[in-house]
Chain A
């Protein structure tokens, strides 16, 4: 069996491209593509002098640096000669590496003498099976329509309940707030550029990409993903640095590569599922072998006894690490669930070919170990009722949403509501969206949240508020908040009622954030990259979680994307930069300039410091999205979130906010 479908030269090129993607992704973290004059500016000098500021070895903060443990394991897996590593790392970091991309793509496309026809056949088979898989995941689930219907009903219901918002909206429609916009409206250029889809925003060297066959691209992505997941036994002294599992930064680099390759991300997701399935299959195979050949005290027995698989030693010095507090029965369940899908694949590629593809490059000497870090996070996340562990948070529970559980998804999404009137508001806002992530809603502190949300809503419908609104005074209020002027007395007296409840809820959200960080650090999500989305106080939970992560070492590879909607978080006194670094990919702040309810509830001294939910944040790398048009009032997030998320196209690598509305 051939260990890899690529020749050594092609693997070398693949490693190089991955390195470049990784480095570019890090640059884009603070210099997003298409946001400002971008790419050119910060790096222009470096192009002309052609000399990167320093060699990689001297800058341990770089993702491509050895100490971050992101690139070298990939090289090792691809069996790139050790002597070539420094050259590759340097090349990756010689920013902008964009002019190297073409050369390496060409190297990748070349048919060298060592490309056997057998390899070509494998490539073809692999790409076909990826197509099949992609089709099966793209197919809309049968009850999709019903779900959309349900969501519409939910929206209607909400709208009726909170009709004051709509009224207020219509009343004050023409009174858009004068908010100090500052220089941070970095979304505008983006909205424009995405329309002329292509040209510079993709930054793909089109010419060379054409030379690369589709099959080759798929094969490369497949092998790179295997490399990302593989957990090669290596020199012990270094290995402790690397987190096991699928690093968010790796996923991001792959995401960028797919745009370079001009391959649809759904294909990459299909590849993820396939690798996950094959890894599971290998696990199972190894298990049965183990059972036959080993003494009763084999690791399998341990798995059964413990019920939880930490790490299981397998034959040949292989260490198979299944993380995420994975319960043994869940593997079996996962495999059964996959059986139909696998069934459709195997005829295409052939069972042995499938296994070969699965283990890809690493099987030489039979010493590969896949860090199978997926499959049963359900046991990990939903099984973790953390409530009793920490007295200060009464409720903290993950609820599974959607059908993607135990389907070999390699990415997780955690959704956090923060303005709720009933328990179903933790789940309903997120239902119906169709994507390929394993999704969980976080239900937390429902009692406190419902209390504060209801108090706010009640106050809104009260006479005083109504009167203020009809006079358009609310807008004035919010404006004066920004000007740090006094509050109208009428307003002050009523808000006392909200204040205490709000204070409790804010306090709890901070604690819930810490808990969430703990959960993620423990890897209960199965060491898979996480996308965090939350609105209102839920956004605050996420932000607090990021802050905690920022204080922890080696936690930069956990969170892939973050979307905060209507977030009650101060701007000036919070460590946004640190939080940004914890998110490998896109970090979106969706705000509404007339969400005065948030302003009222949050007010205190904090408004003078800026408030993320109603204005843009001027921090490099944060995408600010103005959703004022979609959000009539704070409670609108309950039903508008889904549309906002759709318009954000989170699966795009670069910042997007597709406006379906005609914007003024």
Chain B
């Protein structure tokens, strides 16, 4: 699995983050994207992490996707994961209105508070469109919110895999269009702290022993 890891096998590395209330389907969405499967998952504990290699816009990309727990008890934790993310995916459940309103009430504020990346691309995702009959949040509402908040928008279903690929693709393409984010994600070679020599102590630190 690490046979080729000494070679940079990707052009860019992007950090993406999934946030949203508990049970909206963040982990399902991620699982659907990374391994084409759908199953009933238990609530995420803390954070989960998955890697997916994709080729988009002619570039080989490595996506490091952090999936955070939506449960209240882990709320303090997610704050530290916003740091350095190039893309943030806000997920709500189209059949549960409070998951939608919480995005502006809670999650949006969290992003403003903790994200260190000014240009970071945000995306609003309405999940569970397969349950059309139970829908309570209309597409129009989603579009309006996205426009107001200045983010991308898509509706998808992790279960039927409708729009799952597109969701990540749109986000990543947008990141690729943003020079500042691109610069961050560029990794010429592997930066491995254990293989590189530490910087030589500069002159100011030596000279008294």
Residues on A facing B (Cβ under 8 Å)? 9, 12-13, 16, 26-27, 30-31, 35-37, 41-43, 45-55, 57-62, 80-81, 83-84, 86-91, 95, 99-100, 102-104, 106-107, 110, 112, 181, 183-189, 620, 626, 663
Per a CB cutoff under 8 Å, which of B45, B84, B202 touches A80?
Answer: B45
Known: A9-B74, A107-B74. 17 other contacts (CB 8 A): A31-B198, A41-B199, A42-B193, A50-B85, A86-B48, A86-B50, A87-B48, A90-B47, A90-B49, A90-B64, A91-B46, A99-B80, A100-B80, A103-B79, A183-B200, A184-B201, A185-B207
Give the nearest-CB partner of B48 in chain A. A87
| Contact, CB under 8 Å: A188 / B208 | yes
Q: Which residues of chain A have C-beta atoms less than 8 A from B191's C-beta?
A: 45-46, 53
Write out, one digit per residue, whether chain B residues 20-52 have a CB within 8 A of any chain A CB (1) or not (0): 000000000000000000000010111111110
Give the nearest-CB partner of A101 in chain B. B80
A664–B73 CA distance with the chains assembled, in angstroms: 56
A51–B185 CA distance with the chains assembled, in angstroms: 8
Give the nearest-CB partner of A38 in chain B. B198
| Contact, CB under 8 Å: A30 / B198 | yes
| Contact, CB under 8 Å: A102 / B198 | no
Verify if B206 is at the interface (C-beta below 8 Å from A): yes
A112–B205 CA distance with the chains assembled, in angstroms: 47
Q: Can you name 5 A-B pairs with beta carbons within 8 Å? A: A49-B84, A61-B194, A83-B44, A86-B48, A187-B209
A53–B13 CA distance with the chains assembled, in angstroms: 8
Instruction: Assess A27 versus B193: contact at CB under 8 Å? Given A12-B45, A48-B184.
Output: yes
| Contact, CB under 8 Å: B84 / A47 | yes
Instruction: Assess A51 versus B48: contact at CB under 8 Å? Given A31-B193, A43-B193, A183-B200.
Output: no
Give the nearest-CB partner of B27 in chain A. A83
B150-209: which residues lie under 8 A (CB-CB) from chain A? 184-185, 187, 190-194, 196-202, 205-209
Nearest Cβ distance between residue B70 and chain A, in whole angstroms?
A: 14
| Contact, CB under 8 Å: B194 / A91 | no
| Contact, CB under 8 Å: B198 / A41 | yes
Q: Which residues of chain A have C-beta atoms less than 8 A from B84's C-beta?
A: 47-51
Verify if B100 is at the interface (C-beta below 8 Å from A): no
Give the nearest-CB partner of B201 in chain A. A36
Q: Which residues of chain A have C-beta atoms less than 8 A from B199's C-beta?
A: 36-37, 41-42
Residue among B44, B185, B208 with most chain A CB within 10 A: B208
Verify if B141 is at the interface (C-beta below 8 Å from A): no
In order of increasing CB-CB distance, the 5 nearest A-B pairs are A50-B84, A103-B80, A90-B49, A84-B45, A87-B47
Nearest Cβ distance between residue B22 and chain A, in whole angstroms?
A: 14
| Contact, CB under 8 Å: A16 / B184 | no
A390–B38 CA distance with the chains assembled, in angstroms: 63
Give the nearest-CB partner of B200 in chain A. A183
Q: Which residues of chain A have C-beta atoms less than 8 A from B47's C-beta?
A: 84, 87-88, 90-91
| Contact, CB under 8 Å: B1 / A88 | no
| Contact, CB under 8 Å: A181 / B206 | yes
A189–B66 CA distance with the chains assembled, in angstroms: 38
Verify if B118 is at the interface (C-beta below 8 Å from A): no
Verify if B116 is at the interface (C-beta below 8 Å from A): yes
| Contact, CB under 8 Å: B45 / A99 | no
Q: Which residues of chain A have C-beta atoms less than 8 A from B116's C-beta?
A: 50
